[in-house]
Structure 1
């Protein structure tokens, strides 16, 4: 099934190992990836893929859901809790299949109560 695969990739993107590795990020993100973070920060992968570092976080993911848009495009939605700040965020990601590999194209985090 596709949902467990995408959820696993989302969880990988929350790990320090992946977030601080330009090589691992390139494996999971499209060349034209961009993000609007829950902090309001906008991040473009193309800005500097060699030094891309999303930093360390301590976040729990829950309430994962996946909607198929097309055979090669899906929308993932879920909730996170940041254990350092206590902030809750609702998150959404668009994943695309490129040459048989699923990569994140867009991500947005929205602060929630």
Structure 2
């Protein structure tokens, strides 16, 4: 499970995935909510509208210190940091019909 969720998180950091609305629809749950490092909140529709437009210029992101905790049989929370911009990230993934999709994501800048 950890390897699979790490792979899915890495996919969402790839410009090719971020630019593909069909892929995003598979990876982001219909009830998806994100709170960005800026504090701005995004829902599913906003993420699908904005991610493709910024995909081409999206910089390389490297996941470090990836770990997870199982919340229940269908929900898993992952924690990791991004090396290039010193943010802490957490996501909640939901398993439905044998498919994982991200239902929540938050990025927080590390304190200096």
TM range (shorter): 0.7 to 0.9
What residue ranges of structure 2 are gaps of 5+ in the alignment?
none
Q: In 2, distance between residues paired with 1:44 and 1:95?
A: 15
Name the SS of the counterpart of 2:51 in structure 1: coil
Aligned residues: 107
Q: Deviations over 1:56-97 (max 9, x none)?
A: 232111100010111110000000023xxxx20000000000
What residue ranges of structure 1 are gaps of 5+ in the alignment?
none
Query: Which 4+ stretches in 1 moved above 6 angstroms?
Result: none
RMSD, matched Cα: 1.5
Q: In 2, distance between residues paired with 1:42 and 1:57?
A: 21
2:108 to 104, 107, 110: 110
* Higher fraction of helix: 2
Shifted more, 95-104 versus 32-41: the winner is: 32-41
Name the SS of the counterpart of 1:78 in structure 2: strand
For residue 66 of structure 2, what is the aligned residue in structure 1? 64
* Higher fraction of strand: 1
Residue 6 of structure 1 deviates from its aligned partner by 0.3
